[in-house]
């Protein structure tokens, strides 16, 4: 199994990805997102190009992400599932919304680099 340094590398990469999403750095994101990546939101499933366009256009602005918990279970030495429990502040359709999510990020290592193959948001139920 991968060592703690590889886990930390992925945690750092995930944090950097959130910053790039917030700052709409689509060139950096395009380099990170696998060409066959899929993105699952509460109401839509998107391809890599669709996700990049939503970020570029401001259709979704990932304004602020508070990462509350993270873990990095490895499926193989070259496939990791990073789980982040977050509180996301986003602007969607001109409206600012705040939601608690568990975000599942699947990373694959190819050609000595990690690529994001899947990003899925699961909204958490909050107590009444």
Instruction: Note the pLDDT tens digit of each residue in 72-90.
Output: 999 999 999 999 999 999 9
CATH topology of domain 4-123: Nuclear Transport Factor 2; Chain: A, (3.10.450)
pTM for the model: 0.92
Which helix (H) or strand (E) segment holds residue 30: the answer is helix 26-32
Domain ranges, ordered by start, for the chain: 4-123
Task: Give the mean model confidence (pLDDT) for residues 47-55.
Answer: 96
What does the longest C-alpha to C-alpha distance in the chain come to? Answer: 47
Task: Say how far apart CA 86 and CA 101 lie, in whole Å.
Answer: 5
> Residue 42 has what pLDDT?
80
């Amino acid at each position: 199994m991968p060592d703690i340094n590889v886990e930390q590398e992925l945690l750092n990469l995930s944090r950097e990805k959130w910053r790039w999403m917030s700052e709409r750095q689509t060139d950096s994101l395009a380099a990170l997102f696998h060409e066959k990546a899929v993105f699952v939101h509460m109401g839509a499933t998107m391809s890599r190009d669709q996700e990049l366009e939503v970020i570029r256009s401001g259709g979704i602005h990932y304004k602020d992400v508070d990462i509350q918990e993270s873990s990095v279970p490895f499926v193989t030495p070259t496939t990791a599932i990073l789980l982040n429990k977050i509180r996301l502040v986003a602007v969607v359709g001109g409206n600012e919304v705040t939601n608690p999510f568990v975000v599942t990020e699947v990373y694959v290592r190819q050609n000595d680099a990690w690529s994001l193959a899947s990003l899925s948001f699961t909204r958490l139920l909050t107590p009444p």
